[in-house]
A and B are shown apart, each in its own frame.
Chain A
Amino acid sequence: EAQVTQNPRYLITVTGKKLTVTCSQNMNHEYMSWYRQDPGLGLRQIYYSMNVEVTDKGDVPEGYKVSRKEKRNFPLILESPSPNQTSLYFCASSPRGASWEQYFGPGTRLTVT
């Protein structure tokens, strides 16, 4: 089944404790992206990757890191999480091309206390 998976789905952590949210897609898509979603603010792009070893900043990259060592994986790293990073996070992938259709993962709800 074609899908984007994220792990963990739910995470409660404390300020300053490094964490990684994994994202994996099995559709051989070139493009992958991370978003956060907060009430009233909609989806905001954190980082995106056009292909392996190519990453770029979205609108809200501060406090996050990403890597794209393999085509299928695009982990999101929070080196020192803070409470303002409490949010719902979505990973997405796309084959690009004419339709740019993005497939979203199920989301990761992160709480930083």
Chain B
Amino acid sequence: GQNIDQPTEMTATEGAIVQINCTYQTSGFNGLFWYQQHAGEAPTFLSYNVLDGLEEKGRFSSFLSRSKGYSYLLLKELQMKDSASYLCAALLTDSWGKLQFGAGTQVVVTP
């Protein structure tokens, strides 16, 4: 079956670094998305990793290890506005275009 796991909640202090892990077990895997979703709003795209390794975009970085079925999203220099839910999602290959989401990680940034 398909399974995508991420922690339910993480708390960190403004200015700190937080790493959100995502593990996946899927029957076919093409790539891994990260989205940010503020309360009451639609998700917004952060990253899409296909190849192993780290991709950096400003304060946000995303890492993928296909052999380990593992990804993480790294948020640096945390700001209060980073308080949101972070969703990881796998793009599957058994049915091209099919996405499987994790339940989301609620990040709370405290002053």
Question: Which residues in A have some Cβ–Cβ distance to B below 8 Å?
Answer: 31, 33, 35, 40-45, 48-50, 56-59, 90, 98-107
Contact = CB atoms under 8 A, between A and B. Distances in A.
Contacts of A35: 101
Contacts of B7: none
Interface of B: 31, 33, 35, 41-45, 48, 50, 87, 89, 91, 95-104
B98 A56 contact: yes
B100 A104 contact: no
8 contacts: A33-B97, A42-B104, A43-B89, A44-B101, A59-B98, A59-B100, A104-B42, A104-B44
A15 to B, nearest CB: 26
Nearest to B89: A43
A48 B91 CA distance: 12
A49 B91 CA distance: 14
B48 A100 contact: yes
Contacts of A33: 97, 99
User: What 3 A-B pairs come out closest when comparing CB atoms?
Assistant: A104-B42, A42-B103, A43-B101
Contacts of B41: 106-107
A42 B33 contact: no
Nearest to B85: A42
A90 to B, nearest CB: 6
Given A41-B103, A43-B87, A100-B31, A50 B45 contact: no
B100 to A, nearest CB: 7
Contacts of B100: 45, 59
Contacts of A49: 97
Contacts of B33: 100, 102
A35 B96 CA distance: 16
Contacts of A103: 45
A73 to B, nearest CB: 17
A62 to B, nearest CB: 16
Given A90-B43, A104-B43, A107-B42, A56 B103 contact: no
Given A33-B99, A49-B97, A104-B42, 5 more contacts: A45-B100, A56-B98, A59-B98, A100-B33, A106-B41
